[in-house]
Structure formats: structure tokens, C-alpha cells
């Protein structure tokens, strides 16, 4: 996921005859309900938000740090983006190392998202780090290997994503998805670095959207080493049918013989605003039928997503993207949060009912 300050455009028999509207809600438990589900939150903005002195509150209106509130709610994993050489300290290796160490002391597992860029990497942006700008394909491969090895050595994550939303490849232009040889080379070098450094870190490959058959078929044909299919799913940008999403999860997992999870998802608790920064999700057309933009609608969506992952035979879990990204720069900031209506804290920064999705 990336953000802009402007609005931009098998399973239980019978259960997956899920229809549109409210029939898309799933509340049964499935074959994975007895194992520990990955119940993650991407809180990459939290170090920046803390610098503004932002105070959060749990459901009992007790003040606390967002990380502690998430942990108490049952969140068991933190997902953190990593930029190579960002213009500020945000998402730098130093910041991510400090923050991941703190999270680990609080009992979280660590999931690192290596963007292989100095800034946001996503389906429309995969800019190489400036330090690698003039490197040949061979040197780029070496750079991926050496950098990934350093990251795993320093952070020792339980999970690592090689790239972020790499639908179109990574390290453009050399590593575009259309150039299968280079695309595969870079990912293979990254995977080799992980395997040689850690016997326990699981490798994820991340695609934005759940219609990803061609992408993972190419990965399979290129014999790229990885453990987990990781997908983004936002109703605004992806499917409006939870039936289709559920079918895609099982189909992709089965076809590729891999565990699978939703690496990013989120849903609004309101279509209102709490600062002067345009919100990314702010229209009724962005919603799923039967899931209003309300605290209850947000919670219902998340519990459906959780149940869907529990019902998927090799489903591992989910990650909520930026539950803490409230209007942290004040109600009149035009450079604040385009996500405050998607947070898991309301406009008073109090935990919303959607936090219950993290319960054990």
C-alpha cells in the first residue's frame, strides 16, 4: 500500500455459496481455528506519530501507547516497511531496527517488508534505491543479496517480504515483471540471502489484489523460492465480492502449494474527516454492500476477513494496514492522515470495536 494526499482513484460446504449483500458475512470457524492465526498490524507510521505526542485510548478510555493497546487486544505480529535510504529517518533501517526490537520485547513477532527502494514501492512505483541507480543487472542482483542478508542479520524477522506489491516487478526498469529473467534473478538472490542467514524466517511474495493467478504462475514457472503467498485486499481497489476473494485464496494456495495470507486490508468506520487531508476512502461506492462505514460495519468486515482466513485450508492470517494512522497533526492539517477514517481508533483516538478481530 502507498498513500497520497489526494483521492485516487474444500471450505465448509454451503458456506462459500456466499452471496452479495449481507450474505457475504462469514461467522463460522473453519479448519484453522485451532492454530494460532497471524493477527498482524502494519504500524509503520507509529514512530512518526509518536513524535507528535499523540495519545491513544483503549476501549475503557485509558490512555496508552498504540502498540500496547494493540497487544492487549490480541495483536501478535507487527508488520514494518523498510526503505533503503529514505530522505528522513522514517522507515530507515535504524528506525525499523529500534522499533522492531521494542515490539519484540513486548511479545510481538516481526514481519519486515523490504521495499528495495528509498520510498514507496507498489504496483505503480518500483524505483530503485539511488545508491543502485547505475548498477548493471548482475550488480543489482548482488546488491539485493547483500542488502537482504544484512536486513535479516540485523532484524531476524519471523517473516520477510521480498518487495512490496510487486505485481509489475521490482527495481524498475530492469526488474519489471515483463522481464521474467531479471524479475526472477532479483527475487532468487533475495531468497538465497534469507535462506543462508536464517533457518526460521519465512519468505513472502506480495501481490496487490487477489486476482493473482498469472503472477504466481510465473513465480512458479521461474522456480522462485518462497513460503507464503501474500495479498492486499481493499474493497475500494479490488473485488467487491467476498465470494470471489474467498475462492481466489483457496485457488491460489492450491495451485501453488503454498500457505496464504492477507498482508494488507482495512475498512472505514466512517466516511467523515478529522483533518484537512483528503481521504483515500471516502465515498459510498468504495464500500461493500452490507458493510456500512460505521464502527459496527468495520468490525463486521474484519470478522468476516478473519473467518475467511480461518476457513481457507492453508490460510495463515491477516494484517490490518495502519490502524494507528489517526489525524495526528491536528484537525486542520493538510499534510496529516488520509487514513484516519480507516484507523482502528476513532476521531477521539479511542479504540474501536474492530480491535476485537485481534482476539485470541
The predicted pLDDT at position 120 comes to: 97
Three-state secondary structure call for residue 76: coil
Q: What's the average model confidence in pLDDT over 37-64?
A: 97
Distance CA 41, CA 99 (A): 14
Return all residues near 45 (Cβ < 8 A) that are at least 6 apart.
322, 324, 325
Residue 5, pLDDT above cutoff 90 = no
Cell numbers standing for residue 308: 475467511
Closest CA to 225 of 173, 190, 179, 249: 190
Burial of 15: CB neighbours in 10 Å, binned 0-12, 13-18, 19+: middle
- Which comes out higher in pLDDT, residue 4 or 316? 316
* DSSP H stretches of helix in 222-269: 242-256
Domain contains 13: no
pLDDT tens digits for range 89-131: 999 999 999 999 999 999 999 999 999 999 999 999 999 999 9
The model's confidence at residue 32, banded by pLDDT at 50, 70 and 90, is low
Residue 10, pLDDT above cutoff 80 = no
Cell numbers standing for residue 120: 514507496
- Give phi and psi for 160, each to the nearest 5: -140, 130
Q: What's the average model confidence in pLDDT over 194-207?
A: 98
Sign of CA dihedral 334, 336, 338, 340: negative
Q: Which helix (H) or strand (E) holds 112?
A: strand 109-114
Q: For residue 148, what is the domain's CATH number?
A: 3.20.20.80
Domain that holds residue 224: 38-358
Domain contains 11: no
The structural domain count of the chain equals: 1
- As a whole number, the mean pLDDT across the chain is 92
Q: What's the average model confidence in pLDDT over 138-149?
A: 98
Domain contains 32: no
The predicted pLDDT at position 347 comes to: 98
> What is the set of active-site residues?
165, 264
Domain contains 10: no
Cell numbers standing for residue 229: 503467498
Q: How many CB atoms lie within 10 A of CB 226?
A: 24
The predicted pLDDT at position 306 comes to: 98
Residue 30, pLDDT above cutoff 50 = no
The predicted pLDDT at position 36 comes to: 86
Q: What's the average model confidence in pLDDT over 135-154?
A: 98
The predicted pLDDT at position 34 comes to: 59
Q: What's the average model confidence in pLDDT over 134-161?
A: 98
Residue 18, pLDDT above cutoff 70 = no
The model's confidence at residue 13, banded by pLDDT at 50, 70 and 90, is very low
Domain contains 182: yes
Domain contains 315: yes
Domain contains 17: no
Return all residues near 171 (Cβ < 8 A) that are at least 6 apart.
116, 126, 128, 132, 140, 144, 182, 186
The predicted pLDDT at position 355 comes to: 98
Domain contains 29: no
Amino acid at each position: 500500500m502507498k498513500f497520497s494526499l489526494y483521492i485516487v482513484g474444500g471450505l465448509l460446504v454451503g458456506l462459500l455459496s456466499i452471496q452479495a449483500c449481507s450474505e457475504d458475512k462469514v461467522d463460522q470457524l473453519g479448519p484453522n481455528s485451532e492454530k494460532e492465526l497471524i493477527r498482524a498490524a502494519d504500524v509503520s507510521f507509529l514512530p512518526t506519530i509518536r513524535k507528535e505526542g499523540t495519545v491513544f485510548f483503549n476501549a475503557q478510555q485509558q490512555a496508552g501507547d498504540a502498540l500496547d493497546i494493540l497487544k492487549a487486544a490480541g495483536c501478535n505480529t507487527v508488520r514494518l516497511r523498510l526503505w533503503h535510504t529514505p530522505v528522513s529517518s522514517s522507515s530507515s533501517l535504524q528506525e525499523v531496527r529500534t522499533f522492531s526490537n521494542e515490539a519484540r520485547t513486548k511479545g510481538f513477532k516481526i514481519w519486515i517488508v523490504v521495499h528495495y527502494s528509498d520510498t514507496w514501492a507498489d504496483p505503480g512505483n518500483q524505483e530503485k534505491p539511488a545508491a543502485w541507480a547505475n548498477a548493471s543487472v548482475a550488480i543489482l542482483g548482488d546488491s539485493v543479496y547483500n542488502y537482504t542478508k544484512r536486513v535479516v542479520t540485523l532484524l531476524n524477522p519471523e517473516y520477510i517480504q521480498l518487495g512490496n506489491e510487486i505485481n509489475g516487478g521490482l527495481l524498475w526498469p530492469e526488474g519489471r515483471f515483463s522481464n521474467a529473467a531479471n524479475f526472477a534473478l532479483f527475487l532468487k538472490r533475495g531468497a538465497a540471502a534469507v535462506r543462508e542467514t536464517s533457518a526460521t524466517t519465512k519468505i513472502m511474495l506480495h501481490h496487490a489484489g487477489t486476482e493473482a493467478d498469472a503472477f504466481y504462475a510465473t513465480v512458479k514457472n521461474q522456480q522462485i523460492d518462497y513460503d507464503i503467498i501474500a495479498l492486499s485486499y481493499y474493497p475500494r481497489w479490488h473485488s467487491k465480492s467476498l465470494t470471489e476473494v474467498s475462492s481466489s485464496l483457496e485457488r491460489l494456495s492450491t495451485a501453488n502449494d503454498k500457505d496464504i495470507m492477507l498482508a494488507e486490508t482495512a475498512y472505514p468506520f466512517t466516511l467523515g474527516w478529522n483533518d484537512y487531508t483528503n481521504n483515500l476512502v471516502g465515498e459510498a461506492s468504495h464500500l461493500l454492500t452490507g458493510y456500512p462505514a460505521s464502527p459496527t460495519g468495520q468490525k463486521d468486515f474484519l470478522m468476516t476477513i478473519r473467518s475467511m482466513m480461518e476457513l481457507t485450508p492453508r490460510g495463515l492470517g491477516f494484517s490490518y494496514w495502519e490502524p494507528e494512522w489517526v489525524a495526528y497533526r491536528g484537525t486542520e492539517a493538510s499534510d496529516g492522515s488520509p487514513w484516519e477514517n480507516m484507523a482502528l481508533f476513532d476521531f477521539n483516538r479511542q479504540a474501536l470495536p474492530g480491535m476485537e478481530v485481534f482476539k485470541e
